[in-house]
Structure formats: C-alpha cells, structure tokens
Structure 1
C-alpha cells in the first residue's frame, strides 16, 4: 500500500518569521504508482487559497510571487485558511516542503496565533533529501532541479517560469522532483507505507512536526 503525500508551499509578505505573514497556501495530495517499471507520482487533488494578511503586501514580495493587495482583499483570514489546510491534509499523509524549516515555521506561528487542531503529520524537507542524494547538483533550487530532470527525461512536466513562485504550481513541481530524486535510491518496496519513513530518514528526510514548539 503506497503512502499519501502532501507537497505544500507558502507565499508570504517577506522572509521574517517575526513580522511577515502568509498570503497564499498551496498543496497537492499525491501517491505513487508503478508505470513502465518506474515509480511515478499520481496526483489526487489540489488545494489553494489566498490569505488576507494584516498588512500591505510589500512591492518586493509582489515582484517575486505576483500576488497583490487586490488579490487578497476578499480572501479568508489565516485562521480559516489553515483550518481548511488541516482538513485537506488528513491524518495519514506525509507533508513535504522544499526548505521545510521556512514553511513549517510560518505555519507553526499561524497555528499558535489561531488556536485550533494542529496537524500531527510528519513534515519532511525535500531540500535536505536532494542535497543528500545529489550533492553534485550545481543548484538545489526547485526550478533548477525540475529543469534538469526535464532535460534528462526523468519528468515530463512543462516548466513555465512565469508560473513559478505561485503556491500550487510550485507544489506540482515539488511532487515531480521529490519522486524523481528518490527514484535514484529507493526500490519499489521502499515506497510502501510501512517502509517509507525509514527510507526517507536514510537520506536526511528526518521529520519535524507542526506541533513542535
């Protein structure tokens, strides 16, 4: 039985955990299947929501993620948005983020500021895994990895630079890259639910949790 994964990504007003806020949450839920003798991702569903912050979005943030004040003016508050994210994740999925410390810290702060049920799912850092498996890669940025795998025929997703740094698109890219990287080391049996966490931990995929302080 293959595990369920949720690749998630945040867009924020900036990089400061103390003063900046979430303005978009994106996630894709997927599992894996074997096609042509190769383990590939199987997309199940997507989640996306803008989030209304308590501040104006700085121009430098909008220049990167192309999200503006007008986009979030009617969006739900962060407390409501993360409640929907919790429901989307479910209880048995493994959460994945590229540079998970960033996304997990923002989410942890949001749950702390808006008391409610916090997902107990493990959160795994795909960046750490990629660095462990592919130390020779010139860049471990998500877009660069996707471009490299596309060129080698390891993924088939079309790469659109105009869509990068939007949450759901980055999650779809993460899903493809995550499986492509691990395919270099994991055997089919390693992907089974009972084996997957031990398999990930071998390559720096040691989980953290949103419930941690």
Structure 2
C-alpha cells in the first residue's frame, strides 16, 4: 500500500485572499514505512511574504523569487503523489485548500477528499483533550525534533511519517507488515502452535533431606501432611 506524507508552507492562511504555497514536501511510504523517496520543492509565490509568516518558516520573497512557480512544477508534483495513493497530512483542511486552489488554477481537477488521511483527527480521537500539534506528538512518542527550529515542509513530512506510524500502533507493527506478506500474516495468525512435550524433571532426595523434613513435620502441631499421608 502506497501513501504520501505531505506538508506545505505558505504566505498566509487563505488562498482566496491571494496567499500562495512557498514550499511542498512529500515522503513516500509503502506499508506505512518510508521508502527513502521524497519530493521537495520551494516555490516562487509571485508576491511578498509577510514578516510574521517568515518568522514561522524563514522563507523570504528574496529567497524564493528565483524558484519555479507552482505552475512550472505542478505536473511533477501530481506525478509523485499519483492518482490513488492516500495523502497523509496533519490538519489536512489547511494544506488541501491551498493545493486544490493552485492545481485548479492550472486546469487540473481537485484531489478526491477520500484520499486524505488527517493525522490531526486521528490524534484528537486517540488522545482527546491533549495537545495534538506536531511538536506535542513528537514529544509524546519520543521522536527527536531538535532540528525543527523553523517549520519546513520536508522536515515536517519526515517527522509526521514517524508520528503516523506511532498513531497506527508503533514501529513493530509496521515492520511486521513490511517484512511479511499480508497473506502469510493472516494465515500464520490463525495457526495453532504445537506444544512440545517435555519429560518431567526428577529430583533425587537424599536421606539427610528426608530426615530433616520429618523433623520439621514433628515440630508442627497437627500438620495437614500427616492427615493426607
């Protein structure tokens, strides 16, 4: 099963007000495990990037103006995510409104919402009332995010891939699925294990041990051992 963990950075909160994506990062998973294949692209938003947003991701227009526009890379992006791979996104509504707004600008159809897996929703259901942002989930699962001094689409996708695996039950579950064919897992799960017969162990008791035991019993008041003998 192929999934794409995806994150974006933007110039603001609302594409309908002219905000644009400035970075896209994607990590490919097969059976929930990263394959090493990634997609990473900085984008020229063709507009300024407000200072308060630069403080979040560190990407100024001066830094981005030599990068390609989304229109120049949209085909490469869509090729990477494919037509049916699930898209794993934290707070998916935010990223998808930008992605769909921009791909429609260039004549492509919106991405089917059935493809979306929102890890924010999963985390809130799993840990109701607890913080569910990416940093909080990294702390909960012991995932090292020391390099995350600023938001970055590829770094955040790599961290989210680890968080997603933990939300599904942890690395051991993922490795089992990755290493053993699904049919074999299903068949082996229902095979009764044969018990191995072992001869009972026999311990020899010395005369001294028997005498010591008899002496102990003689000192007991009305011992149950003598009633059963």
* TM-score, length of structure 1 as denominator length: 0.74
- Looking at secondary structure, tell me which structure has more strand per residue: 1
The verdict on how the C-alpha distance between 1:15 and 1:100 changes in structure 2, with shifts beyond 3 A counting, is: same
**Counterpart Cα distance in 2 of 1:45 and 1:117:** 25
Aligned counterpart in structure 2 of residue 170 of structure 1, from 141, 144, 156? 156
Structure 1 residue runs of 4 or more that deviate by more than 6 Å after TM superposition: 187-193
Asked if 1:131 is matched to 2:117, the reply is no
Match of 2:198 in 1: none
Structure with max Cα Rg: 2
Residue ranges of structure 1 left out of the alignment (5+ in a row): 33-39, 194-213
Conserved? CA contact 2:5–2:88, under 8 Å: yes
Cα offset for 1:119?
A: 5.0
- The 1:190–1:15 alpha-carbon spacing in structure 2 relative to 1, beyond 3 Å, is same
What is residue 90 of structure 1 aligned with on the other side?
82
Name structure 2 gaps, 5 residues minimum.
183-229
- Displacement of 1:76: 1.1
Number of equivalences? 177
CA distance in 2, matches of 1:190, 1:119: 28
1:180-195 equivalences under 5 Å are 180-183=166-169
SS in 1 for 2:24: strand
Using CA pairs below 8 Å that are at least 6 residues apart, which structure has the higher relative contact order? 1
Task: Give the CA RMSD over aligned residues.
Answer: 2.7
Q: Which structure 2 residues correspond to residues 40-55 of structure 1 after superposition, within 5 A?
A: 41-55=33-47
Corresponding residue of 2:207: none
Please identify which structure carries the higher helix content. 2
